Every structure is written in structure tokens, then in C-alpha cells.
Amino acid sequence: MDSEDNSSFGYDAFRRTCPSHTVLETLANKWVYLVVCALRRGRLRNGELARKLEGITPKMLTQTLRILERDGIVRREIFPVIPPRVEYELTELGQNLAGLLNQIRSWSEQHVPDIRDARARASMEPQEDSVARG
């Protein structure tokens, strides 16, 4: 048994043709992260999301929401009123996921200094000491 890190159900995200690889590919997206995290505390309207996700264009917001809706992570509720009102909320599956994605977001915030330092060190371009020795 060499599948120590694959305690799952025969799926293996390291394999390109594995469906789980596609799922991972979907999640590995900045806007997906942020939208899911934004909805974590409850339902939001389109405009509220747009304001919360600073700089997102309507197009990307809609596109991201459609993907998440298609994958059963977000539920969309349309109120047939004028002016239109649409609300988005996480499904149970989405809430499950949101916990994990939010940890990554939190990690990103907490480790800004570490990464900033690492980049600074990297840009000092340390030269390899000596070399060779067949």
C-alpha cells in the first residue's frame, strides 16, 4: 500500500485523467477562493459580492458563480422582482469546502511577512559556493 496520502476512494488527484484532478483544477482559482470565503458567513447579493471582492469584474463574478453553482457548491436564488434581486449562498457541500478554503486564505494573511522575507532573500541572489566534484 503506497497510497499513504490517498486514503480516498481510488481517486488520485496526481493523475491527470482522474476526475479529482479536474475538481482540484476548479478549486485552484483565486476567484473561487474568494467567492466561497465571502459567502462563508451567509448569503449575499450579487452587488454585495462585487463590493466585497474588490476589483472583480461583473464578468468574472458571474462566471465564477456559475461554475460554483454548476458544481453544487453555491445555490442561487432569484427573486422575481423589479429591480432584480439575486442571492447566493453556500450549499452544504460548499460550507464544508469553505472551511478549508478559508484556512488557506487565513494562512495567506498570516504568512505575508514570512513570504515577503523569503522573496527579499531570494532577490539577493545568493551565489552557489564553489561546485564540481565529479
Dihedrals phi, psi of 101, to nearest 5 degrees: -65, -35
- Give me the numbers of helices (H) and strands (E) for the chain, helices first please: 6, 3
The interface partner of residue 62, options being DNA, its own copies, none and the CB cut-off 5 to 8 Å by kind, is DNA
Q: Does residue number 43 form part of the binding site for DNA (CB under 7 A)?
A: no
Which residues in the 88-127 window bind its own copies by CB under 8 A? 93, 96-97, 100-112, 114-119, 121-122
Shortest separation between residue 46's beta carbon and its own copies, angstroms: 16
Phi and psi angles of residue 42, each rounded to the nearest 5 degrees, phi first: 145, 175
| Cβ closest to its own copies, residue 21 vs residue 43 | 21
C-alpha distance from residue 12 to each of 17, 18, 21, 94, 97 (Å) = 9, 6, 7, 21, 18
User: Which of DNA, its own copies, none is residue 115 near (CB under 5 to 8 Å by kind)?
Assistant: its own copies
Shortest distance, position 104 Cβ to DNA, whole Å = 16
Q: Are 86 and 79 in contact (CB under 8 A)?
A: yes
CB of 37 to its own copies, least distance (A): 7
